[in-house]
Every structure is written in C-alpha cells, then in structure tokens.
Amino acid sequence: MKKYRALFRIRFINALQYRAAAVAGMTTQFAWGFMEIFAFAAFYRVSRAAFPMTFSQTVSYIWMQQAFLALFMMWFWENDIADAVVSGGIAYEMVRPLDLYSRWFCQVAANRLARALLRCAPILIVAFLVPEPYRMSLPPDLTQLFLFLLSTALSLGVVVSFSLLIYISLFYMLSPMGVRIIVAVFSDFLAGAIVPLPFFPESLRALVEMLPFAAMQNMPLRIYSGNIAGADAWQGIALQLFWLAALLLAGRFAMDRALKKVIVQGG
C-alpha cells in the first residue's frame, strides 16, 4: 500500500508543476462556463415549464462541471501509458514488483485529482461571486454535501477504471488515437457533459441513466445541485458502486489475460 501512496504523491506533485497552463485552462473554463450558462438561459426564457431542472440547479451543475473538468472528462488521456504499450516500454513496468493495474490506477487517478485541485478553487470562488442568476449556490444541506463528496470519489473511480479498460485494449490493437476519440466522445455525451441527462428525451433518459456513464459526472453534479436528493441519491450511489466493482473486475481480468499473452519485441 505504501508504494502506491508514494507513486500517487509523485504523480500528484508532478502535475502541480504546470501552473501557467493551469491559469490559461481556468480562463478558458470561465469563458466556457459563462457561454454554456447563457445558452441555457436563452432556452429558459423560451419556456420555463419545459426546463427539467431549476435554473439555479443548472447553473451549479455547469460551474461544478467546469471546476472539476479534469476529474470527470473522458478526453483527458494519459499519453505515458499509451506510449509505453505501443513502444514496448511496458517491459520495464512489468519487471517491477508492482501490480500493473494498481499502478496505472494510481497514476491516472493522481493526475486527474491534482489537475482538478489546482484548478477548481479560483473557478469556484468566482462562481460564487458573479451576479445573481449566474451565481453558483451551495448544496441544500450538509448531508447533500457529504453525498456529493462520496459520489465524486466513486465517480472518479468509475472514470479511471473505465479509461483503464481502454488502455488495456491497446494490447490488442495498436491504433490508439481512433478508438480513444470514439470512446471519449460517446462516454462524455452519455455522462451528461454536453447536455445534462435531465434534458435528454424521456424514453432515452430512462435507459441512459442505467449505464456506467451515468455513474460518472452525471451523479455527483446532480447531487451537488440538488437535482437528485435523499433516497434517490443513495440509489444513485449504489449504482455507482455497482459499476465501479464491475469495471474493476473486468479491468483486472482483461489485464491478466493481456499480460499472459503480451510479447515485447526486443531491440
């Protein structure tokens, strides 16, 4: 356990180095958040009745999404890992006395967490200060806040274990770019990155809410904004637990099989 903690720390400190990039990223995310909110506001003016969340819930959803972008978005890929598999550098990893799956898991999770922590504070502060209809609100009560934190942790787990499945698939096919883009596009869409799930058409929504993607950003963001509360929130967290366990098992299984068969070219 200790070595994974050390690994986590190294990655974390490493990711904290890129501060200028973080500042630029934050400016982008501010602008992005505002534009998103303005677009939803325009639809809100068309019809309040057709709006499936309250407006302040939508605003909180978007600000939290922008603040924790690095935690949830599937399109942040770890180029190190893909390069190691494709170039054969993976051989070095395999002789180390570390379990490869856990190692990758730590690496990806630490990078995402560091990026998110570095960026979230300024965005959150400004989101709490902007004038009224666009201001982010606190979660309704403390339990809800606690549920949000729990759900965020689970959501990170689901995102990481899902992306590990993709890395493992690189052992079988060596065309890393294409598959990754396709998977990222779909999972981000189904996780509510483009349009929150409540805005989906009813029939589709019932199905999408069962998928592992709904256990990603959809759950914590909606719990924070108060769109999902009480028993529904617990149910959502149970769904997240289920998918996390399923993805972890599938990932370990696939990794074992891949490593049994992998042949690294010498030279």
130 three-state secondary structure: coil
Contact call for residues 129 and 29 (beta carbons, < 8 A): no
Among 46, 95, 129, 263, contact with another protein (rule: CB under 8 A): 46
Residues 6+ apart with CB under 8 A from 135: 59, 127, 128, 129
Instruction: Say which amino acid occupies 171.
Output: F
- Phi-psi group of 27: left, alpha or beta (phi > 0 → left; psi -120 to 50 → alpha; rest → beta): alpha
CB of 265 to another protein, least distance (A): 19
CB-nearer residue toward another protein: 97 or 178: 178
* Contact track, another protein, 198-237, x by CB under 8 A: -xxx------------------------------------
Q: Where are the alpha helices (DSSP H) in 69-194?
A: 69-72, 79-87, 90-95, 100-129, 142-169, 176-190
CB of 143 to another protein, least distance (A): 31
- The footprint of another protein on this chain (CB under 8 A) covers a number of residues equal to 37
Among 10, 16, 149, 181, contact with another protein (rule: CB under 8 A): 181
- Which region, judged by CB under 8 A, interacts with another protein, from 13-21, 80-88, 160-168, 229-237? 13-21
CB-nearer residue toward another protein: 28 or 143: 28
Q: What is the C-alpha to C-alpha distance for residues 250 and 253, in angstroms, rounded to an integer? A: 5
Among 10, 13, 16, 31, contact with another protein (rule: CB under 8 A): 31
Q: What is the C-alpha to C-alpha distance for residues 170 and 210, in angstroms, rounded to an integer? A: 27
CB of 25 to another protein, least distance (A): 5
**Cβ of 245: how many Cβ atoms within 10 Å?**
13
- Does 182 participate in binding another protein (rule CB under 8 A)? yes
Among 6, 94, 125, 194, contact with another protein (rule: CB under 8 A): 194
- Which region, judged by CB under 8 A, interacts with another protein, from 20-28, 77-85, 143-151, 245-253? 20-28
CB of 123 to another protein, least distance (A): 14
Q: What is the C-alpha to C-alpha distance for residues 254 and 228, in angstroms, rounded to an integer? A: 34
Q: What is the C-alpha to C-alpha distance for residues 180 and 167, in angstroms, rounded to an integer? A: 9
Nearest to 138 by CA among 68, 212, 215, 64: 64
- Does 128 participate in binding another protein (rule CB under 8 A)? no
- Does 39 participate in binding another protein (rule CB under 8 A)? yes
- Does 28 participate in binding another protein (rule CB under 8 A)? yes
Cα 144 to Cα 153, 154, 230, 247: the distances in Å are 14, 15, 8, 26
CB of 24 to another protein, least distance (A): 4
Binding site for another protein (CB under 8 A): 18, 20-21, 23-25, 27-28, 31-32, 35, 38-39, 42-43, 45-47, 50, 52, 175, 177-182, 184-186, 188-189, 194-195, 199-201
